[in-house]
Amino acid sequence: MILSAVPTLAIKFLFWALALAVFMRYLALAWQPTPAHARQAGAALLLGAVVGSKLLFALNYPAVALGALSGDARALLTLAGSGSAPGAVLGAALALRWARRADQARFDLDVLVVPAAVALAVLACGASIWALSEPGFGAATSLPWGMDFGDGVERHPVMLYEAGFLAVAAWAHSRLTDRIFLPGERAMLFIAGYCGLRVLTDYMRPPFGPPLLAEMMHPNAWVFGYLMTAEQWLCLLAVLVLVPAWLAVTRRLLGAALRG
């Protein structure tokens, strides 16, 4: 739905605060680190998520990034209030892997799956409220479950598609045991699944499909190679990087099932 700037920022702040509270709550239930380890991992997590989110958003919307660099107030507000969820996930995962190698501490990325999935699902649901106030809303559709976000056009509720996937991922993760998967494998599967989903759902966002008036009022993601946006390309790269590990997990599980 279309909201004015001040209420939109207030609602965003509330959802961000709720997502952070949910993330910290679920993380506290799954992880009991030492204080020193918590500080280092927490700093790496925050830095990686913020840098990854803003950097990938800037690559996805170069017009916004260039406008922000030139001092345009609207572009600065858009960049400050927006980000890329896949960028945050990948940035946090890479930063935590670096931090783990730096201090030789054991950190199981699996403990982050449920907190991250639930927090991202909260933000995805919130994005359906402020859908047309920033880039990333769904493209027009004639499907019966299309939603009108306030401009009179039935659109793909891509945020709710992603929220549904994240809810299922959190539910499935909580039922998978360490007897089945080795440390880090569930996190790898979650990242690969989420990135694969974003490659597909981003085709349901502008600039794919015929442009409408509401879409012309926002910067469009740049389509690189006439195929995909920067976000899709990076998500596809992440999936391809994780394919060998995913195949190794599949072979091991199939072998264990056949032997059992």
Q: Is residue 230 part of a domain?
A: yes
pLDDT digits 0-9 by tens, 25-63: 888 888 877 777 777 888 888 899 999 999 999 999 999
Q: What mean pLDDT, rounded, does the chain reach? A: 87
Q: Is residue 130 part of a domain?
A: yes
Q: What is the pLDDT of residue 87?
A: 95
pLDDT digits 0-9 by tens, 108-123: 788 899 999 999 999 9
Q: What angle do CA 15, 136, 89 make, to 5 degrees?
A: 65
pLDDT, average across residues 127-140:
86
Q: State how many domains the chain has.
A: 1
Q: Is residue 80 part of a domain?
A: yes
Q: What is the pLDDT of residue 203?
A: 95
Q: What is the pLDDT of residue 97?
A: 82
Q: Is residue 260 part of a domain?
A: no
Answer with the residue of higher pLDDT: 182 or 242. 242
pLDDT above 70 for 199? yes
Answer with the residue of higher pLDDT: 42 or 242. 242
Q: What is the pLDDT of residue 102?
A: 63
pLDDT, average across residues 203-230:
87
Q: What is the pLDDT of residue 88?
A: 93
pLDDT above 90 for 241? yes
pLDDT, average across residues 233-252:
91
pLDDT band at 107 (very low <50, low <70, confident <90, very high): low
Q: Is residue 259 part of a domain?
A: no
pLDDT, average across residues 251-257:
80
Q: What is the pLDDT of residue 105?
A: 56
pLDDT digits 0-9 by tens, 147-191: 999 888 999 999 999 999 999 999 998 887 767 788 888 999 999
Phi, psi angles (nearest 5°) of residue 163: -60, -40
Q: Is residue 132 part of a domain?
A: yes
Instruction: Look at the alpha carbons of 124, 157, 216, 208 in this order and tell me if their dihedral is positive or negative.
Output: positive
Tokens of 154: 């039935």
DSSP secondary structure string for all residues of 102-170? HHT----GGGGHHHHHHHHHHHHHHHTTSGGGSS-PPPB--STT-EE-SSS-EE--HHHHHHHHHHHHH
2 DSSP 8-state letter:
-
pLDDT digits 0-9 by tens, 3-28: 555 577 788 888 989 998 999 888 88
**Boundaries of domain holding 150:** 5-253
Most confident of the following: 76-90, 172-186, 204-218, 233-247? 233-247
Q: What is the pLDDT of residue 1?
A: 46
C-alpha of 11 from chain center: 19
Q: Is residue 210 part of a domain?
A: yes
Answer with the residue of higher pLDDT: 86 or 178. 86
Q: Is residue 179 part of a domain?
A: yes
Phi, psi angles (nearest 5°) of residue 226: 60, 20
